[in-house]
Structures are given as C-alpha cells and as structure tokens.
Amino acid sequence: MCPETTDFIPEKEKDLLDDLVEVTKDFPAPPLVLTRILELTSQPDVSIEKIEQVISSDAATAAKILRLSNSAFYGRSRNIASIKDAIMLLGIHTVRSLVVASGAYGLYNSSGVLGSLKQQMWEHSLATAVLSKMLARQFGDFSPEEAFLAGLLHDIGKLVLVNRFPEKYGQIIQNDEVDIVTALESEIEIFRFSHQQVGSALVDDWLLPENLVQAIGQHHDFSEPDSLPGLTALSDAVVSAQGYNILAPNPARSTVVNEFELEELVDLFEEEYKIQSQLFVQ
C-alpha cells in the first residue's frame, strides 16, 4: 500500500492501518483485463491496436463495448462491428471507463442472500458515476471520464464491508432510523473505520491514480465543491435523493438539487442512466 493513503485516514495509528490491510486483503483482485487497460491507458503514446488486443481477450468486456458504441446514446446510423472501430468512436478514455465499469459490475454481481443488496449498491454506484460525468461536463473542472470513475468506485469500501462482515453491516442498513450520514458514524462505532477509508485503502492497493484514491476516501466531504471529492459527494447526495441508494438520504442534504439548480440536469440524468444501465442487463 502506498503511504499516501494515510492522508485520507483521520486516525494514523499503525494498528488502524493494519486493520484496513487485513479487511481488504481477501477482496477479489481486479480482473486482469482491467489492470492491463489501466496500465496501457496511462501511457501517452499507447496504440489503439494494443488496447484492442487486450479488450478482445475478454469476451464479456468486448461485448459491452460494442453494445455501447451501437447504443442510441451515440446515435449511430450504421453498426460498429469491431473493437477497433468502437475505440475510435468512443475514445480511449471512455473505453477505459467502460472496462472499469465491467470489472466493477462483476464484483457486485452475485446470487444468494446478498445478491439483491449488491444489485442496489451497484445501481447507486452507476447512478453516481453517470451524474458525476454529467456534472464534470457542465462545470468543466474535471475530465468527465475521471469523474465517472470516481463515482463508480466511490462506495467500493462498502462492498468490502458487506462481503467481509455481512451480519454486522446488516445491523447498519436494516435500521430504519439510519441515513447516509449516521451510517458513517455507525461504521466507525462498529469497525473503527468507515467505508471511505476502506475504499481508499483498497483502490490505492490496486494502484489507481492518487486523485481517485482521494475522491473515494473523501466522497462525503462537501467542504470543497469544486474538488473531485466534492463533485463526487454532490453526485452521491443527488442520486440518493432520487432514490438510488440502500440508505435514506440525509435530510440536511436532500436540498442539493435546488441549491445547485440541478433540476434540468437531473431530468437528463434519468435518461442517460437508463441507457448506461442497459449495458449490464444479463
């Protein structure tokens, strides 16, 4: 784990860091296609042919990229039949985001008792990602694809806690009096750390860029709305107010749509989210 992770952990005691490492160590590693694509797309002179080769090695990811490139959202008048054409149409950064989304969906996709819960968590994460991307386009302070990735992965720490401590975490989400903010307090009371800290530790271990580590570790912080953590926090609050969350929205943050004059954007969000979510229908 990189030492910078401690910047996003309020308590810096060694035993707390050891606990975070212990909690995340058995969590599934990201798919090989994801780590390879992240590595390639971090290179300024990477060729489309190399990206095409890696994506084509994973049938599920290749299929999703072809579905997106042929979706109504991109208004294509002809079919895109090859991965290379899809990359040229969508661009390398959009392709990277879709590969991450495909890998993340695999982590949330499960059957059994936790299947329904994880599906709701996935829907919240994807909704946050979609709105984050739209906000980034509107405000122009960040790369839309960077904002999408921050939104998509912001709650990955919550998934770790659900997997590792299903009964204990169930105590939090099954309490009707718990909203998004009080759930954070309950996490710290039960585990000594929040899902933000767990998530930042995990993605730092995955060697994701530092700005994403920071956004995931501070995605409930509204103190700097013009920062990537602040934009992620805004998206999280807005989609939660729209019903995309396993927890009730915090009453103090339910006014963000009006406060930031986002009514029109929220209407557009619903349509874009519908398009994006269809990519993951089995």
Direct distance between the N- and C-terminal alpha carbons of the chain, in angstroms, rounded to an integer: 35
| pLDDT tens, per residue, the chain with 282 residues | 333 333 344 444 556 767 877 888 888 878 888 888 888 988 888 999 999 999 999 888 898 888 878 876 665 556 888 999 999 888 888 888 888 888 888 888 876 667 888 999 999 999 999 999 999 988 877 889 899 999 999 999 999 999 889 888 888 887 777 778 888 889 998 888 899 999 999 988 887 888 999 999 999 987 787 899 999 999 999 999 888 988 777 676 667 777 777 888 888 999 889 888 887 775
> Helix or strand or coil: residue 190?
helix
Structural domains in the chain, CATH included, are 12-278 (1.10.3210.10)
Query: Which structure tokens are listed for 32?
Result: 């090989």
Query: Which structure tokens are listed for 137?
Result: 């386009």
What whole-number distance in Å separates Cα of residue 203 and Cα of residue 210? 9
What whole-number distance in Å separates Cα of residue 123 and Cα of residue 77? 29
